[in-house]
């Protein structure tokens, strides 16, 4: 029980280096630049595609960051914490 709890705590405190986050946002920026370059030749703007692309890229970045910090944000791991508390309670 102690070993599992220690490993879990260490996994929660370890995060990817800042370079990974910089590459994620750099990739989003490059994708936006390529899409903008492709749309620059068009006579009119397809606003649905522009807004849709921006929304999808923003959601993907948010979900990746939210999963990385599971105790904050929308995606939570409270059910897993509850399972450990119930296991500890059953041992006493």
Q: Using one digit for the tens of pLDDT, what is the confidence trace for 26-41?
A: 988 998 888 888 888 8
Q: Is 24 within 8 Å of 61 (Cβ atoms)?
A: yes
| Position 1 pLDDT exceeds 60 | no
User: What pLDDT score does 8 carry?
Assistant: 67
Whole-number Å distance between alpha carbons of 60 and 27:
12
Q: What is the pTM of this model?
A: 0.60
Q: Using one digit for the tens of pLDDT, what is the confidence trace for 3-27?
A: 766 776 776 667 778 888 899 889 8
Q: Using one digit for the tens of pLDDT, what is the confidence trace for 50-80?
A: 889 889 988 988 888 888 777 677 777 666 6
């Amino acid at each position: 029980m102690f070993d599992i709890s220690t490993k879990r705590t260490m996994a929660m405190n370890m995060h990817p280096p800042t370079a990974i986050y910089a590459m994620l946002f750099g990739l989003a920026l490059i994708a936006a630049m390529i899409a903008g370059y492709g749309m620059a030749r068009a006579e009119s703007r397809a606003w649905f595609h522009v807004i849709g692309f921006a929304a999808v890229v923003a959601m993907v970045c948010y979900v990746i960051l939210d999963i990385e910090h599971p105790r904050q944000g929308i995606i939570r791991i409270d059910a897993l914490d509850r399972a450990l508390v119930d296991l500890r309670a059953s041992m006493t």
